[in-house]
Amino acid sequence: MDKILFEQIPELFESVGGIFTEKKDELCEMDAKLGDGDLGLTMSKGYSALPDLMRGEAAGAGGDIGKMLMKAGMKMSSLVPSTMGFLMSTGVMEGGRALKGRTELDGAALADYLAGFAAGIQKRGKCQAGQRTIYDAILPASQAAAKVVAANAGASLDEVITAALEAAKAGVEATKDMVPVFGKAAVHAAASAGVPDQGATAGYYKILGLYRYITK
């Protein structure tokens, strides 16, 4: 796939929504051990709704992918009013801000979206790398994508998303050795030893959803 056109962007995020529907129970089970147990519900509800929110904003966006994402992300936040819901919607909005004025998504634009998404999570969550959160999967994914584009400005969507996916997977694995500092997980930190962080796992699935659409 060389590029994703404006009108195909909702389909791209339908792939993300689909994987969260598929992984809903798994994420809820992971979250029940160290969190509130609703992570899978939040992710599936938010990302399943996002494509239609985008379609609702498409006419007013005038072909601007960034504008469509920003407005849809804002509406998404009201559908999933939870910590993770706000992190996701802020990530989508900031990812959209990074794409403002773009009418199609190529490899470089995808790297920009992932960088904006990661920045949105960091900004909203006040988190840093190594604190055992979704950021520990999303940040390395965005950095890997940026590295591919820095080495080759014409890098394909496949090359960018493949690098991002591999880095996100490694990021999830690394959380097994991290000590949580937020929420209930911090209270039960000992129970997290050797176990991947559920938020980071959700971040990996977000990238996997994008990957499935791009490489289908």
Domain tally for the chain? 1
The tens digit of pLDDT for each residue in 125-171 reads 999 999 999 999 999 999 999 999 999 999 999 999 999 999 999 99
Note down the domain range covering 154: 4-214
- Measure the CA–CA gap between 179 and 131, rounded to whole angstroms: 7
Inform me whether the pLDDT recorded for 185 exceeds 90: no
Q: From its phi and psi, is residue 180 left (phi > 0), alpha (psi between -120 and 50) or beta? A: beta
pLDDT of 184:
60
Q: Which CATH number goes with the domain that contains 48?
A: 1.25.40.340
The tens digit of pLDDT for each residue in 76-115 reads 999 998 889 999 999 999 999 999 999 999 999 999 999 9
CA distances, 49 to each of 35, 55, 74, 78 (Å): 23, 10, 12, 11
